[in-house]
């Protein structure tokens, strides 16, 4: 018998709750604004190269992604960010879409070569004006800007002249660029993020070579130059030193007057032991999280890389001087965490190596998605936040990205069917439930940013997948349409009227 009235629905919910209590099951929290702590921030996350377009307009210089995406075969479907979703010209409309979602924050990145076309030297004031306008539009609608300084678009000029992140010389131009941003927008921007996912651009850019600048060595990838065994660690080291320098500048020169905060965004897959009864697999899972997240957060909280990485990598892992260690230790007011999925980890006794996989005996750890790396495994959110809480003495955390992909089915389905994204709604609901459980456990999480506001250029896979809450019609003028998830967010985030 189906209950179709409101009273019946309430009765069913109460009945389920009673069953959970009788069975000793943990009660899952309701996902609505009122369930989160007072002052908790909701927003969406984006990145300049994936959104702005106008790749050669307004005085912008080329980035390594402009170069990389134009190499045939590097991007699925040979897509580029030349136009992307054209936010450079449509930011007013897009900010309104954000407001219509009942969000109160927008995480976006500044394109370094749009501000400094050569990475340093002459300022491109037309590009600066774009960010002036975007920030003003956000604030006009009561939306707080959360600004990322580096989301993978290294100025090509610095890549050509000094080797980009491979050179220790990169610290100085990055610091000059950051100082300019603080000077220009620091009175309006109160949340700064130095880097987005060093792990991703170091690994995919310098280990497998599937992302810009496309460096690697055999057998890890097929690139014309690079060294997969050393360069990811060198790149990461210089990025961490750049982060520390920029945080120091902000704290010494701007924070007291501007009253903002600064942190870094890291990404991490959660790892479960493949064999829950195996001590070596449990250790493999722990080491996997250390080598993913601890690689970047251990230096920031403790002043050095994890001991497990030092032991396994030896001289391939760079060292910090005493001065560098002192500068980087404590270089955060908050930590941003991008979390999407979970994997298993197992220790291979024959090779002495750790293997990571999404499958146990052919069964996936969670529902697979169109992205081969992304399984829907929501309990990983709670477990990862617990790991961070325990290892780093419960720092302030923002979930700066969380979301799920679906295939671009423009050729298969009519528009009306592509707007039905029940998988995305269920994903957000289950991950937010586990986020609430982590907060209940004691994790100090202050905000949540969904990836992403709308469908966009998704790096190496181009436009073949859709992560957006809003649908973008790539064949008809980049029109934006609300998916079912738009209505879901509008409902769970609506603010109750005060009588």
Catalytic residues: 401
- If DSSP codes are grouped into helix, strand and coil, which group holds residue 262? strand
Report how far residue 101's alpha carbon sits from residue 369's, in angstroms, rounded to the nearest whole number.
Answer: 25
Angle, alpha carbons 149-55-221 (nearest 5°) = 75
Burial of 342 (0-12, 13-18, 19+ CB in 10 A): buried
Q: Nearest-CA neighbor of 337 among 286, 283, 300, 305?
A: 300
Q: Nearest-CA neighbor of 199 among 131, 288, 124?
A: 288
Q: Per the structure block, which two tokens stand in for 351?
A: 């090779």
Q: Nearest-CA neighbor of 189 among 247, 154, 148, 230?
A: 148
The per-residue DSSP string of 285-321 comes to: HHHHHIIIIIHHHHHHHHSS--HHHHHHHGGGS----
CA distances from 332 to 129, 190, 244 (A): 29, 14, 9
Partners of 348 in the β-ladder: 353
Q: Nearest-CA neighbor of 428 among 16, 29, 31, 17?
A: 31
Backbone φ and ψ of 3, nearest 5°:
-85, 125
The per-residue DSSP string of 108-135 comes to: EE--HHHHSTTSSSS--HHHHHHHHHHH
- If DSSP codes are grouped into helix, strand and coil, which group holds residue 75? coil
Burial of 315 (0-12, 13-18, 19+ CB in 10 A): exposed
Q: Per the structure block, which two tokens stand in for 147?
A: 């600004």
Please answer whether residues 262 and 333 qualify as being in contact, where contact means their C-beta atoms are separated by less than 8 angstroms: yes
Backbone φ and ψ of 464, nearest 5°:
-80, -15
Please answer whether residues 110 and 152 qualify as being in contact, where contact means their C-beta atoms are separated by less than 8 angstroms: no
């Amino acid at each position: 018998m189906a209950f179709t009235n409101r009273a019946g629905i309430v009765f069913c919910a109460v009945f389920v709750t009673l069953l959970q209590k009788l069975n000793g099951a943990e009660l899952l929290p309701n996902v609505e604004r009122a369930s989160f702590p007072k002052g908790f921030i909701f927003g969406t996350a984006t990145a300049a190269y994936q959104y702005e377009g106008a790749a050669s307009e307004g005085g912008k210089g080329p980035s390594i992604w402009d170069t990389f995406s134009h190499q045939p075969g590097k991007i699925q479907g040979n897509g580029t960010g030349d136009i992307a979703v054209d936010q450079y010209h449509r930011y007013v409309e897009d900010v309104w879409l954000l407001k219509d979602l009942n969000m109160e924050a927008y995480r976006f990145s500044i394109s370094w070569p749009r501000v400094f076309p050569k990475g340093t030297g002459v300022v491109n004031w037309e590009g600066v004006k774009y960010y002036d306008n975007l920030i003003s539009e956000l604030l006009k609608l009561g939306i707080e800007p959360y600004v990322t300084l580096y989301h993978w678009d290294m100025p090509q000029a610095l890549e050509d002249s000094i080797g980009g992140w491979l050179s220790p010389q990169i610290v100085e131009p990055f610091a000059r660029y950051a100082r300019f941003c603080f000077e220009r927008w620091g009175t309006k921007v109160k949340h700064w993020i130095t880097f987005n996912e060093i792990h991703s651009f170091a690994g995919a850019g310098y280990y497998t070579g599937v992302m810009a600048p496309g460096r690697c060595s055999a057998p890890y990838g097929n690139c014309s130059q690079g060294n997969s065994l050393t360069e990811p660690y060198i790149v990461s080291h210089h990025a961490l030193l750049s982060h520390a320098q920029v945080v120091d500048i902000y704290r010494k020169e701007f924070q007291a007057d501007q009253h903002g905060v600064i942190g870094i965004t890291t990404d991490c897959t959660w790892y479960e032991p493949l064999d829950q009864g195996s001590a070596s697999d449990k250790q493999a899972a722990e080491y996997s999280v250390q080598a993913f997240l601890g690689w970047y957060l251990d230096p920031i909280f403790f002043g050095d890389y994890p001991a497990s990485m030092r032991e396994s990598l030896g001289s391939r892992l760079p060292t910090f001087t005493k001065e560098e260690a002192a500068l980087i230790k404590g270089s955060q007011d908050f930590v941003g965490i991008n979390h999407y999925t979970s994997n298993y980890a197992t220790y291979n006794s024959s090779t002495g190596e750790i293997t990571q996989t999404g499958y146990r005996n052919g069964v996936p750890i969670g529902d697979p998605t169109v992205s081969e790396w992304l399984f829907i495994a929501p309990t990983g959110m709670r477990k990862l936040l617990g790991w961070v809480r325990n290892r780093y003495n419960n720092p302030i955390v923002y979930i700066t990205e969380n979301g799920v992909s679906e295939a671009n089915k423009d050729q298969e389905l009519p528009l009306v069917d592509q707007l039905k994204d029940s998988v995305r709604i269920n994903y957000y609901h289950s991950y937010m439930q586990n986020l609430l459980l982590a907060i209940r456990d004691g994790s100090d999480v202050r905000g949540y940013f969904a990836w992403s506001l709308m469908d966009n250029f998704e790096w190496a896979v181009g436009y073949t997948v859709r992560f957006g809450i809003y649908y973008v019609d790539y064949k008809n003028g980049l029109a934006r349409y609300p998916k079912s998830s738009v209505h879901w967010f509008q409902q769970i985030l609506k603010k109750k009227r005060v009588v």
